[in-house]
Amino acid sequence: MMAKSSTARSKLDLPLPLVEPQPCFLKPSIWWKSPEEHIREDHHTSRVHQLLLPHLQYGTSLRQPPPGHVRLLFWWSLNELKASRPKAQMSADIPLEPGGSLDLLRVQKMWGLESVTIIHPLRWKIFIPGDPNRLSALAVRDLSIDRHIFITEHPATRQTMVKRVVRLFCLDLYFLSLFGLYRLFVCGGYGPGQCVPVPAWYDHMVMLRNRVAHRLVDLKREIDAMYERVLSYGAWLGISDAVSQRYYQDAEGTLATSWLDYLEERRRNFAKDWGAIVLACLVLCFIWLIDQFVIHVF
């Protein structure tokens, strides 16, 4: 008979220590949208919706999540819950797994988080689940209030913060560029259907531009109405309406053409005299911005 190995475990030996499962959250990439960008998108959509349809409520604050979903409320820190009327930075409805559990890796990818931490809704403390990558169905039921779950993010590492700062810097630089300014003054900004991380100052400039444009349109209508009244008074006094109307159109066309020619000439002279200087100043400003916000961060 073969001798029993001395290394074999018996029933009297102590059990092996349990190995805690480690979270396998993905490392955020610079191509991921940061939580700040998602918050900007939500605030931009809310501002545009309030401007276009002020009589309707926007968001998920008055609706319950659909069946088989839970609503996630994101907070930057636990201190935000201590306010008199705490308001989450962003919220979203996410479907549960077939077994009723919540996949935390899916939440991480959805909002570009470095880690997903569950907040106990009654104790306002961090809850550590048994499986750090998944919240069981029992935990979903116990940690939710009306199917609302509070989550936060541990303080991000320096490498992740650098990636987020670089992304936000590039976005702000785009809105300050000629493309962003053209979109601002010509197209009137971005609509509610466009998910763009627009900063608050950009939306405020869009609202100011729209108020000025509406005021100019109203002023033009008042001028047209005044001319119509003048022409009607001229016809009542015996002046030919056709002659007066033709004279008004010729005068208006001549005035508009002369103004356009004058502005075109001024633009050409400005581009000829100051174009190189303006371009050099823009290049210097761009280099200074890169030195201040990118090189110093690294």
- At 288, the amino acid letter reads W
Enter the tokens of residue 34: 């940061």
Residue that is written with structure tokens 């976005």 in the block: 171
Task: Tell me how far apart the alpha carbons of residues 147 and 70 are, in angstroms, rounded to a whole number.
Answer: 5
Provide the percentage of residues in the chain whose pLDDT is more than 90.
0
The token duo for 238 is 């015996």
Residue 190 has pLDDT above 70, yes or no: yes
CB 81 within 8 A of CB 124: yes
Q: Would you state the pLDDT for residue 193?
A: 64
Q: How far apart are the first and last CA of the chain?
A: 68
User: In whole angstroms, what is the distance from residue 265 CA to residue 191 CA?
Assistant: 35
Q: All domains of the chain, ordered by start, with CATH?
A: 60-156 (3.10.20), 160-273+284-295 (no CATH)
Total-model pTM: 0.61
Closest CA to 149 of 160, 165, 137, 159: 137
Residue with token string 């029993």: 4
- What is the full DSSP assignment across the chain? -PPPPTTS--TTSPPPPPPPPPP-PPPPPTTSPPHHHHHHHHHHHHHHHHHH-TTS--SSTTSPPPTTEEEEEE-S-GGGGGSSS---SEEEEEEPPTTS-EEHHHHHHHHT-S--EEE-TTT-SEE--SSTTEE-HHHHHHS-SSSEEEEE-PPPPHHHHHHHHHHHHHHHHHHHSHHHHHHHHTS-S--TTS-----HHHHHHHHHHHHHHHHHHHHHHHHHHHHHHHHHHHHHTT--HHHHHHHHHHHHHHHHHHHHHHHHHHHHHHHHHHHHHHHHHHHHHHHHHHIIIIITT-
Judged against a pLDDT cut of 60, whether residue 54 lies above it is answered with no
What is residue 18's predicted lDDT score, i.e. its pLDDT? 47
What does the pLDDT look like over 206-233, one tens digit per residue? 888 888 888 888 888 888 788 777 777 6
Q: How far apart are CA 210 and CA 95, in angstroms?
A: 39
Q: pLDDT tier at 25 (50, 70, 90 boundaries)?
A: low
- CA distances to 38, 66, 107, 111, 242 from 94, in Å: 15, 9, 8, 12, 67
Tokens describing residue 266: 């001024």
More confident residue, 259 or 87: 87
Q: How far is CA 293 from CA 35, 97, 237, 246, 289, in A?
A: 19, 42, 70, 60, 6
Phi, psi of 158 (to 5 degrees): -65, -35
pLDDT digit string, tens, across residues 70-126: 888 888 887 777 777 777 888 888 888 888 888 888 888 888 888 888 888 777 788
